[in-house]
């Protein structure tokens, strides 16, 4: 099975982040499914109150990506 890694590859992460930064609904690069967005903030998961993060989840393959909204970067 090709490309069976549990996490998105770096080039896949860049594609997802580019779609999100452009204001588009990101599609999973593995299966093309629209990804679900969840905001993380206000101290969730032990994060500081000033950080705003977003969690993008593929409902089909269950892979996900968390990134910082202000910086537009992963983690």
In a domain, 48, yes or no: yes
Q: What is the mean pLDDT of the chain?
A: 81
Sheet holding 64-68, edge to edge: 36-40, 53-57, 64-68, 73-74
Residue 21 pLDDT class (50, 70, 90 cuts): confident
- Number of helices (H) and strands (E), helices first, in the chain? 1, 4
In a domain, 59, yes or no: yes
Total domains in the fold of the chain: 1
In a domain, 35, yes or no: yes
Positive or negative torsion for Cα 55, 14, 50, 23: negative
The predicted pLDDT at position 53 comes to 83
In a domain, 64, yes or no: yes
Residue 1 pLDDT class (50, 70, 90 cuts): very low
In a domain, 23, yes or no: no
Containing domain of residue 37, as a range?
28-74
In a domain, 4, yes or no: no
- 17 in helix, strand or coil? helix
pLDDT tens readout for residues 28-40: 999 999 999 998 8
Most distant CA pair in the chain: distance in Å?
41
């Amino acid at each position: 099975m090709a490309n069976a890694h549990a996490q998105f590859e770096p080039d896949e992460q860049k594609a997802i982040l580019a779609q999100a930064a452009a204001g588009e609904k990101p599609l999973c690069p593995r299966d093309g499914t629209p990804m679900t967005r969840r905001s993380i903030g206000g101290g969730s998961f032990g994060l500081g109150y000033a950080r705003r993060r977003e969690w993008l989840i593929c409902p089909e393959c269950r892979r996900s990506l968390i990134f910082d909204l202000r910086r537009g970067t992963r983690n």
